[in-house]
Amino acid sequence: MSGQQHILEIPWHETRILNCFFCGRMISRIYWEDDEFPDKKFCEASCADVKRSLINHAQTGAQ
C-alpha cells in the first residue's frame, strides 16, 4: 500500500460528517488517502487495500 495518513482539521462550526469512501464508516479525525485513489478518503489503510484487492479480483475474473 502507498498513501498518506491525514488528520482532519474541522472547524467547530462544521457539522458535516465525513464517511469512508469504501465502507461508509464515519471518519472522526484521522483518515487515509491512498495514492491509487486520489481525492478519496478511507477510514484506514487496510480499507483501501480491500478496495484494491476487489478491483484486482474483478479484473482477473473478467478475462
CB of 13 to Zn ion, least distance (A): 26
The least distance separating Zn ion from the CB of residue 47, rounded to whole angstroms, comes to: 3
Residues of the shown chain interacting with Zn ion in the complex, contacts defined by CB under 5 A: 20, 22-23, 25, 43, 47
Quote helix, strand, coil % in the chain, to nearest 5: 25, 25, 50
Minimum Å distance from CB 17 to Zn ion?
14
Nearer to Zn ion, 34 or 43 (CB): 43
Whether the CB-CB separation of 30 and 45 falls below 8 Å is answered with: no
